[in-house]
A and B are shown apart, each in its own frame.
Chain A
Amino acid sequence: MVDVALESGSAIAVGAQADRAKALQRLRIGDIVFRNITRAAAIIVLLILGGIILSLIQGAAPALHKFGFGFLTSQAWNPVTEKFGALAPIYGTLVTSLIAMLIAVPVGLFIAMFLTELCPMWLRRPIGIAIELLAGIPSIIYGIWGLFVFAPFLQQHVQPAIIAVFGDIPILSDLFAGPPYGIGVFTAGLILAIMVLPFITSISRDVFEAVPPVLKEAAYGLGCTTWEVSRHVVLPFTRVGVIGGVMLGLGRALGETMAVTFVIGNAHRISPSLLAPGTTISATIANEFTEAVGDLYTSSLIALGLILFVITFIVLAAARLMLMRLNARVGR
């Protein structure tokens, strides 16, 4: 009797222990599986980038092989004779982005200064959100608005005035030579400025807010004005972050497609006048890709995409490195 009871008792114990071990084993396997699935997902993110680069290189290979380095320096764009060069789109991309940054950087910094130094507390959040909503509006909306509202307005009211004012000044008269088309490089640059404004504003505001109050109070205590505090204390302290934000905005401006496609005019030439139609890399691809006949044409467009990706990659990588450096400093 005693023996039997003992035996059955220990059998139960052994059984329970085996169950326990099995459950633990299952949990351990589950753990390993889940960990590896998440790890694989993280690696897939890397593979996406690798895939983008490789597929672009592969697609661009025929054009790059045919035209070589001359692809970058040639202005030709002739689907009939199959002569393609990227200079005009590259020029358009750089110039529209430059115009955008020249306008958006000072405006964005002033808005950030307003939001952090001047604005009453209760208005800060609503205004900040409203500016950020500008970033939420899809780029095609900017495009349709630019085409039907903004470009005609510029054509009728603004551009004739610009042409008249700068007409007698040597260099500027070439930069702003007529006729007023409405659409063109200048208009595209203005719309890009509106589109990147929220990026620059929100990052500048965030880094301005991170300035230790002691620094500002010390400067105010010495009798500095609001402007002097912003210019000589806040801005130098946040320089790295601001440049990072500006580069981020620049990355956006360089790659922006739809808004520019609507208003740039898609002309494959480099005009000295900013008011003339031009084209950008992204607008060329968007306009012509589905209509491209022949492998060389398609390949040239993909090569344009590759150039765009390389440019934006460098700009964005520089922006991220700067912002990372900033975070490291704040963390310390």
Chain B
Amino acid sequence: MAIYDSRRRRNRVAKVMAVGATVFGLAWLVLILAVLLWEGFSGLSLAVFTQMTPPPGSAGGLLNPIVGSLIMTVIAVAIGTPLGILAGTYMAEYGRYDKLTIVVRFINDILLSAPSIVIGLFIYEVMVAQMGHFSGWAGAMALAVIVVPVVVRTTEDMLILVPDTLREAAASIGLPRSLMIRRVAYRAARAGMVTGVLLAVARISGETAPLLFTALNNQFWSLNLNAPVASLPVVIFQFALSPYSDWQKLAWTGALIITLAVLALSIIARTLAAQRKSS
């Protein structure tokens, strides 16, 4: 009987540990979001979206970093998405069993998790050091390098899910392969590919490390992409580590804005993906 008891006891301990671990994991999510809402909401006002970043000791907002982040994100997506979709298309449609595809898939998966600060160093070496100054273009390029692997991955995955019968039907009525891909395969995989782009946007909108020494930061209103451009994550970094309490307050508000944006994007992406599955 003793052995049964000890087995049962051990099982009970393990179950408690499993439940405990889950509670532990969820507790962090709740804790982080609660603090963020608490600290961030109190600073949230219209001024945050209409005024520039202030010098320490005076009131201000986050307009220039928000706009800077938006611009660089849009450029990064505009550069990274077509490249990623085309590469994913090759891997799923033309060279599904090629050696090249296997190598690209492997390298792409590594790029997907490569430390983003290294990508910042890369763009610094290739663009900033060559041009001699920090710039918004360099920041956008660094973000684009992060977008590409995300889009490649989802595009390939989604195109592979498209049933071959669709392709065969298109081919049987005489559609050449490139048209078949663009008119049939892309359409069938559209929801999934949009999900991929949304996930990429969510990923780069919080990225700080690659912007630190590419786009740098800018205290003032500037739309010149050949000059340093402010971005929300970098401003949060600078303000949070500053000794001024009103800067820290703005950092929390900025953190709340980023988190809400990122969570909204990933929830939209998830719903899109779920719709696809159910249809």
Residues of A within 8 A of B (CB): 27-28, 30-31, 33-35, 37-46, 48-49, 51-52, 55-56, 58-59, 106-108, 110-111, 113-115, 117-119, 127, 129-131, 133-134, 136-145, 147-149, 194, 197-198, 201, 225-228, 230-231, 248, 251-252, 254-258, 261-262, 282, 285-286, 289-290, 302, 305, 308-309, 312-313, 316-317, 320, 324
Q: Of all chain A residues, which has the CB nearest B149?
A: A45
Complex contact B83–A30 (CB within 8 A): no
Complex contact B262–A226 (CB within 8 A): no
Complex contact B18–A37 (CB within 8 A): no
Q: A131-B26, A141-B206 are in contact. Are A136 and B266 (CB under 8 A)?
A: yes
Q: Does B164 make an interface contact (CB < 8 A)?
A: no
Q: A55-B126, A127-B26 are in contact. Are A27 and B94 (CB under 8 A)?
A: no
A213 CB to nearest chain B CB (Å): 19
A288 CB to nearest chain B CB (Å): 10
Cβ-defined partner of A133 (8 Å) among B15, B209, B236, B266: B266
Complex contact A41–B213 (CB within 8 A): no
A51–B114 Cα distance when bound, in Å, is 14
User: What does the 1/0 interface line of B121-145 toward A look like (CB < 8 Å)?
Assistant: 1101110010000000000000001
- Interface of chain A, main secondary structure: helix
A198–B111 Cα distance when bound, in Å, is 19
Cβ-defined partner of A312 (8 Å) among B109, B115, B181: B115
Cβ-defined partner of A138 (8 Å) among B87, B104, B259: B259
User: What does the 1/0 interface line of B80-110 toward A look like (CB < 8 Å)?
Assistant: 0001101101110111000011011011111
Chain A residue contacts of B21, Cβ below 8 A: 106-108, 110-111, 114
21 A-B contact pairs sorted by A residue (CB < 8 Å): A33-B178, A38-B87, A38-B94, A45-B87, A111-B22, A111-B25, A118-B19, A127-B22, A131-B25, A131-B29, A139-B206, A140-B255, A141-B259, A143-B240, A147-B241, A201-B25, A254-B115, A257-B116, A289-B212, A302-B125, A313-B110
